[in-house]
Amino acid sequence: MQADKKDIRALSKEQLRDFFVTNGDKAFRGNQIYEWLWSKSAHSFENMTNVSKETRAMLEANFVINHVKVDTMQRSEDGTVKNAVRLHDDLIVESVLIPTKTRTTACVSSQVGCSLDCNFCATARLKRMRNLTPGEIYDQVVAIDNESKLYYDRPLSNIVFMGMGEPLMNYPNVMKAIDMITSNEGLGMSPKRITVSTSGVSKMIKKMADDDVKFNLAVSLHSAIEATRNEIMPFTKSFPLTELREALEYWYAKTKNKITYEYVVWKDINDDKASIDALVKFCKYVPCKVNLIEYNAIDDGDFQQASEQATKDYITALERNNIVVKVRKSRGKDIDAACGQLANKS
Ligand code: SAH
């Protein structure tokens, strides 16, 4: 039975080397298999062509490779591609390829569903079913890299952890996946091209700073007023803004890496002067920039995109205070691939 066999990608390179030594083979064999599993992204032992039949049979008897499979792929009229990715236990997560003139970005999921309860996000409705393994996160990236080469003639250039789930609630697996994505034994991508987005789990932001990570941090702020934030993102009652601020100061002191705040401006929620002033004030604590994200409606009357004037007022106030601000247009809306729309609809 497959079910009692261990997923071979849960083993470190050392453990794989030890496995072969224990079984009367050379430690070197472990390196060879490790390369197949990660940098060559083998889906099955059968594909490991330079490995003897006996070794392949032995691996087959002991392990499985819980590789993901792209179940369906949708292409948006703006070139965005959304993959519904089937996991070994038949659960589905979504990942998105976002092409621009100069880059191809992969937006990947870290959990099936989400642990958090942001009222404006479709993924939150799914609840958290389980954490993704490092291999499952890695596979999403490889799938998008291949699609990028196929459709856009260039490899993937950036990765954002902005798909389903809260990456900092699956910290060890996200870290292991990033290790493999950045390692020369995996994809060899620069951590500077990776952004982890969190809704603001303060304790884990500090942990990340302590772990001396080299990737970028984005925080989904949406309001710098405690009561408003608590209302639209109820879990933040356990993660108050004072703690978030302190964690971000800690992050910057250790990493010297600017933070990006993600922020949606909604009608009657945060489109007033007090909200703008609060954001400007919050932005002064730590070097940062602000991405104003367009709201993607998720059939919920409570949230509506604010007027263009409100967005302009934010931009004016931020720029007057020398804070870099960019407006991010939605991509892939027609296929439910935009921020906050990932909910396994198809
Ligand atoms: N849990 C992480 C990763 C998800 S990222 C986080 O919260 O950062 C997805 C981004 O899209 C977050 O900034 C989130 O706040 C934002 N988002 C969620 N729902 C949205 C919606 N309906 N429209 C626009 N942005 C949304």
CATH assignment of the domain containing 59: 1.10.150.530
Question: In terms of domains, do 20 and 87 share one?
Answer: no
Is 41 domain-assigned? yes
Q: Give me the pLDDT at residue 150, please.
A: 96
Residue 143 lies in a domain: yes
Domain closes at, from 34, 64, 94? 64
CA gap 111, 345 in Å, rounded: 16
> Which residues touch 61 (CB under 8 Å, ≥6 apart)?
none
Say if residue 237 is in the same domain as residue 150. yes
pLDDT of residue 144: 97
Q: Classify residue 343: in a domain, yes or no.
A: no
Within this chain, do residues 259 and 129 fall inside the same structural domain, yes or no?
Answer: yes
So what's the pLDDT on residue 342? 82
pLDDT of residue 1: 45
**Parent domain of 35:** 2-64
Residue 248 assigned to a binding site: no
94 contacts 84 by C-beta, under 8 angstroms: yes
Ligand 1 nearest atom to the CA of residue 162, by list position: 5
Does 339 qualify as catalytic in the annotation?
yes
Instruction: Say yes or no: 89 and 209 in one domain.
Output: yes
Q: What is the pLDDT of residue 127?
A: 77
Residue 340 lies in a domain: no
Secondary structure (3-state) at 307: coil
Domain count for the chain, please give it.
2
Residue 40 neighbours by CB under 8 Å, 6+ apart = none
pLDDT value at position 3? 55
pLDDT of residue 165: 96
For 249-287, letters b (16+ CB in 10 Å) and e give: ebbbeebeeebbbbbbbbeebbbeeebbebbbebbeebe
CATH at residue 184: 3.20.20.70
* Residue of 127, 131, 162, 217 with the most ligand 1 atoms within 8 Å of its CB, for mutation: 162
Distance 82 CA to ligand 1 centre (A): 16
Q: Which residues of the chain register pLDDT less than 70? A: 1-3, 346
Give the residues across from 106 on adjacent strands: 97, 159
Contact 182, 190 (CB under 8 A): yes
Burial class of 80 by CB neighbour count within 10 A (0 to 12, 13 to 18, 19+): buried
Distance of CA 239 to CAs 126, 200, 204, 243, Å?
22, 7, 11, 7
pLDDT of residue 346: 63
Give the pTM: 0.95
| Ligand 1 center to 305 CA (angstroms) | 14
Domain match, 152 and 46 both:
no
Q: Is position 226 annotated in a ligand binding site?
A: no
Nearest ligand 1 atom to the CA of 296 is: 23
Reduced to 3 states (helix: H, G, I; strand: E, B; else coil), residue 79 is coil
Q: Are residues 194 and 151 in the same domain?
A: yes
* 94 flagged as catalytic: yes
Instruction: Identify whether 319 is part of a domain.
Output: yes
